[in-house]
Structure 1
Amino acid sequence: MSQLQQLQHAFMDYLLASAAVDTPPTLAQTTQTFKDKIAEQGGINADIRMQIYANAYRIRLTETLETDHEMLGIYLGDELFERMAKGYIASQPSAFTSLRSFADALPDYLTQDAFFSQYPIIADIARFERRLLNAFDAFDTERATFARLQALPAEQWPGCQLRFHPSVQLFQCNSNAVETWQALKQQASPPSPDYQGKRAWLLWRGESRLTEFISLSEYQLALLLGFIGGATFAEQCEMMLAFFSDAQAPMQVLQALQAWFQMGLIRDIA
């Protein structure tokens, strides 16, 4: 490793140590070694110069959290958001070259933190916003049409499988996190937290490049999970018998497929 690389690594170690709650002794020694290489400039000593960079590092990461989780920030308010940001940065220092992935572990942090875990809706809102980001950032592919399915010979239908667009995301929670997010997005007062019942949502990026989402009923969720998991048309019709009669089950599957093609969820048929 060259001297420049050693200096760069020491600088990064210092930034990580400055954000951590507890600095390991080995990291503290590295920080001191790095400090010895910093010269005073313009009357500003090494400690102050290093602190300027440390502050800038934390500010940039906090800004990333604010950008990625705008509605969560509004829901928490300034004081709690600052508490969350400081705690997350300290426990999950950035290990990525891109800030896009920095907050991926935020929902897990909120679930595990002694304070924030008392309010599960907070982690649910964070997880929903991560799903929105994933849907928006997913790479694009061609989308299949319902006519493609209709053109298949009848004997091939039972064995048909679907391949979904990369932006398709499923979100499940036990709170009214999405309803709360929607209210905040519309600048309305959010409802009180509600943990009465499981909720499911489908998210995707449409052909207009806009991220969309809709709520799912129990059978719609089961149908999507089945097809995403590789189930065939015949297997899904059989599974729908838990929700509908023998005559209704195939029609429900067919209607769902037609809607999915129109929504741009399907990229291919296998």
Structure 2
Amino acid sequence: MSLSALQTAFETYLTDGALPSNELLEQVRGCTALSALEGLRIYHNAYRSRLLAVLREDFPALQQWLGEESFEQLALAYFTAWPPRHFSIRWLGEKLPEFIGSYIAEPQLSPIRELAELEWTFTLAFDAQDVEALSLQAISEFSAEDWVSFRVSLTPSARWLRLQYNTLALWKAAKSGDLLPVATQPAGNRDCLVWRHNLVCQYRSLEPEEASALRFFVEGGSFAELCESLSAIHGEQAPLQAATWLKLWVNEGLLKLRATIHE
């Protein structure tokens, strides 16, 4: 048996969870204290335990909601449906929110999947590419022309979610070690941002007007166009409102310049 064939047989046994092939067993040397099959089972159990530990770390609120036993059943079913294929274990939970859709039925499905999506979003935000965010110092050096025309986008770590349930309350309770509240569906969806700033993941909900303004701005609108879009509600105070939000977004490390400022 070639080395590559041996490696493939060993990987198949670890990921599929079936009995090892006879060819693999023939290549493993046992002893009086430990047979070849028992030795392979140790590796198999250790591998699954490591995968479970990673999912527990990435989805602690989901585990608290489901309970240890149900979470483990979900995880093992997930590993069977989506065996790890990436060289980095960091991507292990990528498909878990999607898998939940085929594993859990309503009415539990939607709130549980949304909680899993939120937790995975924190993982993505933490590991996202690091870029130089727009600063107040940079803005202070803008010319009058710059102020009118500059455009921005969200930093790579920023993730935009539309939450239908009290998912943030569930996540915060789990984070604090408190009892999870009952999942409820408040009137209207709520926009939520998750991002990384100064090496720490941040999050907050946005009121509809701020969410609309930020979305307009990061999708290509200039600052002048943002002010104009706010004038229907804020009238002459539209530039002040736009500047207030801009200062908030910059302080939070949410924005980066989309286009080069005129020299």
Q: Tell me if TM exceeds 0.5.
A: yes
190, 197, 200: which one aligns with 1:206: 197
Which secondary structure state, in structure 1, belongs to the residue aligned with residue 256 of structure 2? strand
Tell me the distance in 1 between the aligned counterparts of 2:35 and 2:105. 38
Q: Tell me the alpha carbon deviations over residues 199-247 of structure 1, each in whole angstroms, 9 at most, x when there is no partner.
A: 221222222x2222111111222233233323322333344357x2432
Shift of 1:3: 2.3
Which secondary structure state, in structure 1, belongs to the residue aligned with residue 209 of structure 2? helix
TM-score by length of 2: 0.87
TM-score by length of 1: 0.85
Matched, 1:181 2:180: no
The residue aligned with 1:230 is 220
The residue aligned with 1:24 is none
The residue aligned with 1:6 is 5
The residue aligned with 1:261 is 250
Matched, 1:76 2:66: yes
The answer (yes or no) to whether the contact 2:61–2:171 under 8 Å persists in 1 is yes
Q: Tell me the alpha carbon deviations over residues 15-62 of structure 1, each in whole angstroms, 9 at most, x when there is no partner.
A: 22217xxxxxxxx8x934323322323343332222222211111111
Which secondary structure state, in structure 1, belongs to the residue aligned with residue 67 of structure 2? helix
Farther-moved stretch of structure 1 (53-62 vs 154-163)? 154-163
| Structure 2 gap segments, 5+ residues each | none
42, 47, 57: which one aligns with 1:57: 47
Shift of 1:188: 2.2
Go from structure 1 to structure 2 and tell me whether the alpha carbon gap of 1:32 and 1:161 turns closer, same or farther (over 3 Å shift): farther
The answer (yes or no) to whether the contact 2:149–2:222 under 8 Å persists in 1 is yes
Percent of residue pairs identical:
30
Shift of 1:132: 1.3
Farther-moved stretch of structure 1 (78-87 vs 221-230)? 221-230
> RMSD over aligned Cα, in angstroms?
2.4
The answer (yes or no) to whether the contact 2:153–2:219 under 8 Å persists in 1 is no
Which secondary structure state, in structure 2, belongs to the residue aligned with residue 205 of structure 1? strand
Tell me the distance in 2 between the aligned counterparts of 1:42 and 1:73. 40
**Aligned partner letter, 1:36:** E
| Structure 1 gap segments, 5+ residues each | 20-27
Which secondary structure state, in structure 2, belongs to the residue aligned with residue 42 of structure 1? coil
Farther-moved stretch of structure 1 (63-72 vs 31-40)? 31-40
**Aligned partner letter, 1:66:** R
Tell me the distance in 1 between the aligned counterparts of 2:104 and 2:76. 14
Tell me the distance in 2 between the aligned counterparts of 1:63 and 1:269. 40
Tell me the distance in 2 between the aligned counterparts of 1:119 and 1:17. 26
The residue aligned with 1:195 is 185
Tell me the distance in 2 between the aligned counterparts of 1:147 and 1:83. 52
**Aligned partner letter, 1:258:** K
Tell me the distance in 2 between the aligned counterparts of 1:56 and 1:188. 31
